[in-house]
Amino acid sequence: MEVTIQRLFYENHRSRNKALKPTCDAARFGYQGGEAVFQTIDFRTPTVLFGMDSLNEIGKQAKGLGASRVLLITGPRIAKTGLGDRVVSLLKEEGVDVEVKIQGRDTPEPATEVPEEAARVAQEMKAEAIIGLGGGSILDVSKMAAALLTNPGKVRDYFGREKLPRRGIPTIMVPTTAGTGAEVTKHAIFLDRETNVKKAVASNALLPNVAIIDPMLTVTCPPSVTAASGFDAWLHAAEPFVSKRANAITDTLALEAIRMISRWLGPAYADGEDLEARYYMSLGCLMSGMVLNNSGTSLVHAMAYPVGGEYHTSHGSTLAALVLSCFSYITVAREEKFALMAEAMGEKIDGLSRREAAGKALDAIRHFLEGVNLPTSLPELGITDKSSVPQWAVDAHAEQRLLSRAVRKLSVDDLRLIYENAF
């Protein structure tokens, strides 16, 4: 689904139309003042089914896509729970034939050969759709495998932005964690073994046809995964909120996602069977995934790729270890928005200066991470060797797809300093 919207916003250092003057509290809403101009917002999302037991609709959704034969891709942990068998039964009840691929991996992010292998299986069985059932990595593999069935070559050929010329076969994404947002995004992350760096395929051709978000599927998610994936989701809202690509639609979703995840990640981490916490975490993560898909991440993710590529640390934990150093470096450029973030996280900002209120956001993030046992620095992640910092800075600087959205222009030296401040 695609929506194009015109909205009025405020832009610094321009005078496009002096007859149009700001009529709202620009600082309160995160805009930076100046004259008014018009912006076109291209907002994209799959068809979304959200709610308790929404998984029961999967057979009807597959048939609605015209699929009579599907490949179900899932992971070993999910297979052991019996959830895969349940999905197979639901599909067969609607007359859909299913083949199951239990997809393992030896790194936190799947290497490029993993979706290539899955695509070969789908091709051999003549799959008419692919269903991804699992965490973000499984969903990324599923999206990319579907794309490789209609686009020649290998995954490596499509690293970067909008390099896939054609959509793949139809896809249905069913997340079992509340975190990555992969079910509603055009992104897929893989490890390039040639460079040992995580890289992204970013293309509208990857956007799933259907996303089924059933909070009940997250109940068995382990606490450590709940925490790491939940923070990843939080950052998918927070990082775009303070980026150049923010807009009125994503800002609204981002603030509500920040508020919801900040409130409910702790209870979900403490008691995985807390259905209220699981419900609101899934809803918040859905919102943040929509923000991610339409405004994109920036500095923190760019800097996490080289670290995760070298140490194979989990994505969410790596982001947690870097976020305070990154956000401290850019707060000066978006103090109004950091103040709003602090408020959304439950901090009292009335009576504070703009700078003091922005600082409250950094304090809130630290307490948020500590509450769910996530690292707040690289040594807490188990990384104490600084010798790779110069190369990390070079590699992160090469991620201009992400850094182009940053609110500060960042050199290699800037990135090196941010890494050093994370120790």
Tell which phi-psi region holds residue 346, choosing left (phi > 0), alpha (psi between -120 and 50) or beta: left
Lowest-confidence pick of 90-94, 156-160, 194-198:
194-198
Is residue 423 scored above 80 in pLDDT? yes
Contact predicate 362/332, CB 8 Å: no
Question: Which pLDDT score is estimated for 104?
Answer: 79
In this predicted structure, the answer to whether residue 361 has a pLDDT above a threshold of 60 is: yes
Which residue pairs, CB below 8 angstroms and at least 24 apart, start in 409-416? 410/299, 414/329, 415/303, 416/389, 416/390, 416/392
Which residues touch 68 (CB under 8 Å, ≥6 apart)? 95, 96, 97, 128
> Which of 307, 267, 301 has the alpha carbon at shortest distance from 284?
267
Where are the domains positioned within the chain?
A: 2-44, 47-218, 223-421
Q: Which two tokens stand for residue 193?
A: 């073994």
pLDDT above 90: residue 173: yes
Closest by CA position to 303, among listed 181, 391, 179? 391
Fold of the CATH domain 47-218: Rossmann fold (3.40.50)
Q: How many Å separate Cα 252 from the centre of its chain?
A: 17
Q: Which long-range contacts (CB under 8 A, 24 or more apart) does 22-29 make?
A: 27/336, 27/354, 28/336, 28/340, 29/251, 29/340
Give the model's confidence band at 37: pLDDT under 50 very low, under 70 low, under 90 confident, else very high: low
Q: Please tell me the CATH code under which domain 223-421 is placed.
A: 1.20.1090.10
Q: How far apart are CA 52 and CA 266, in angstroms?
A: 21
Q: Stretch 125-142: mean pLDDT, rounded? A: 95
pLDDT, tens digit (0-9, with 9 covering 90-100), for 364-391: 999 999 999 999 999 999 999 999 999 9
pLDDT in tens, 261-304: 999 999 999 999 999 999 999 999 999 999 999 999 999 999 99
* Block residue for tokens 């690293």: 159
Give the angle 205-211-216 at the CA atoms, nearest 5°: 155
Supply the pTM of this predicted model: 0.85
330 contacts 298 by C-beta, under 8 angstroms: no
Q: What is the mean pLDDT of residues 57-69?
A: 96
